[in-house]
Amino acid sequence: MNAARQIELLSEDEYFELDERSTRKHEFWCGQVILRKAATPQHVILAGQIVTALATRLSETLCEVGTSDLKVKANDEIYVFPDVVVWCENAQLDACRDNVLLNPLVLVEILSLSTESIDRGAKLAAYQTISSLLDYLIVWPDMVQIEHYARQNETDWRFRRYLNRNQTIEFAALGLEIPVAEFYRRLDVPEGVINLELPFESETDE
């Protein structure tokens, strides 16, 4: 019988040493290191449109919008590179590492086939532990579809799904409204459709 594959876990210091030496981005999940794959052109265009839409509306405020070059600490053992990050004048950076943001207000992840399960699962759970976070958006690049989690209080979140360009995303805590069409302005992709698959086979009358 083959021995179970052992996963080599790194300490935080070992992770940061690795990430600083590398030309590619790595995320840190409780000792495991995950390489972020290079983004597709469609992913990059969508991220740029989201940044532009947010930055335009925040231009007269003390808030900033950044891309995936900024690392966010999700909890004591998780460090990630969200696709889009919003923070304001009270930004808190890690005392030992000035490229790690501790208190983001808005986080956006753009899906890919390799990241969908983690963006909608582990990252959603981790991001909801960040006390400063007000909104988390999960955005599809190949169709108009956005999942929006908006904080209501310390423990409760409101969920909304957007499937067409005529809808408006409301960032209530920041006082912002952004048409879905602005995110997808440069992408020729179809409107979203919810695919409901039954977990069993249906029976037909004979």
Reported as a single tens digit per residue, the pLDDT across 119-150 is 888 899 999 999 999 999 999 999 999 999 99
Q: Give the count of alpha carbons within 13 A of 7, CB side only.
A: 8
39-183 is classed CATH 3.30.420.40: no
Q: Which residues are CB-contacts of 111 (< 8 A; sequence separation ≥ 6)?
A: 119, 120, 138, 139, 140, 141
Reported as a single tens digit per residue, the pLDDT across 29-68 is 998 998 888 889 999 999 999 999 999 999 999 999 998 8
pTM comes to 0.88
Q: What are the sequence ranges of the domains in the chain?
A: 39-183
B/e letters for 44-80, b = 16+ CB within 10 Å, e = fewer, are bbbbebbbebbeebbeeeebbbbbbebbbbbeeebbb
